[in-house]
Amino acid sequence: MAIVQVENVGKRYLLGEQEVHALTGINLSIEPGVFLAIAGPSGSGKSTLLNIIGCIDTPSSGRVSIAGREVSGQTPDQLADLRARTIGFIFQSFNLLPVLSAEENVEYPLLQLRELSRAERRERVRHYLGMVGLSKYAAHRPNQLSGGQRQRVAIARALATHSKLVLADEPTANLDRRTGEDILRLMKDINRKSGTTFIFSTHDRRVMNMADRLVRIEDGQISALGMRAGKSWVFVQDRREAGEDPEI
């Protein structure tokens, strides 16, 4: 079963008196365990699509299902619960709370999961900080960490809720080349070992080269779908005209 199902999704909003079509007729079926990049130029709609998949934004039309649960018509509280239990987020600007230590930042989203005891929360924090190689930096605050270390904290935070799906919006944009590549290799390793699904919004060629699936967005529409075949890409043109649901 697909972990993400997007059916004929459109997104419109008003810019002054002008109606802008950010997305039009998006159809995607994303299987669990993929390492997928949504790529396109600025203003193409890639971040809008990522936000809709992440239940941060809602579509103007169409349907979205996450892990078998249709999110259309859900209340804000229901969407918040879905995000807390199913989806992890990694942001370009890290979005760490500056007054909290690394371990407190990782623990913060776990406070919403009331079924977890304090001991269970601490064990998850210890485990995921260890997974990203930051055990000895647990007590450090963000301003005491490098950009790469802060992004590792953000990855640990995204995984600590046992997220089935991790969404990353331009995760390498604020990192130097070497650090960005290290972070990508870390996420790819987690993807392979745990089967966690990663979806990136990016225009970074490094992210695209690491991905095993590619969705290319132009002017709010899917222009091509790519699947890794060895070291090469096999591209498939958008098949909506044939009435098919592109499965990647």
Domain-embedded: residue 26: no
Q: What percent of the chain has pLDDT over 90?
A: 69
Residue range(s) defining the domain that contains residue 92:
34-59+74-236
Query: What secondary structure letter does DSSP report for 149?
Result: H
- Residue 244 is predicted with a pLDDT of 46
pTM over 0.85: yes
- Residue 247 is predicted with a pLDDT of 52
Domain count, the chain: 1
37-52: average pLDDT: 92
Domain-embedded: residue 119: yes
Domain-embedded: residue 24: no
Q: How confident is the model at residue 174 (pLDDT cuts 50, 70, 90)?
A: confident
Domain-embedded: residue 126: yes
Domain-embedded: residue 65: no
Sequence-distant (6+) residues with CB within 8 A of 83 are 54, 55, 56
- Residue 173 is predicted with a pLDDT of 87
CA angle 109, 162, 39 (to 5 degrees): 90
Question: Using H for helix, E for strand and C for coil, what is the string for 55-95?
Answer: CCCCCCEEEEEECCEECCCCCHHHHHHHHHHHEEEECCCCC
Domain-embedded: residue 162: yes
Average model confidence (pLDDT) across the chain: 90
Bridge partners (DSSP) listed for residue 39:
202, 216
Domain-embedded: residue 211: yes
Sequence-distant (6+) residues with CB within 8 A of 129 are 102, 103, 106, 135, 137, 138, 153, 156
Domain-embedded: residue 181: yes
- Residue 242 is predicted with a pLDDT of 40
Task: For residue 6, count other CB atoms closer than 10 A to its CB.
Answer: 24
SS3 246: coil
- Residue 72 is predicted with a pLDDT of 81
User: Tokens 């900080």 appear where?
Assistant: 129
Q: Is the pLDDT of residue 143 over 50?
A: yes
Bridge partners (DSSP) listed for residue 234:
227
Q: What CATH code is carried by the domain that includes residue 166?
A: 3.40.50.300
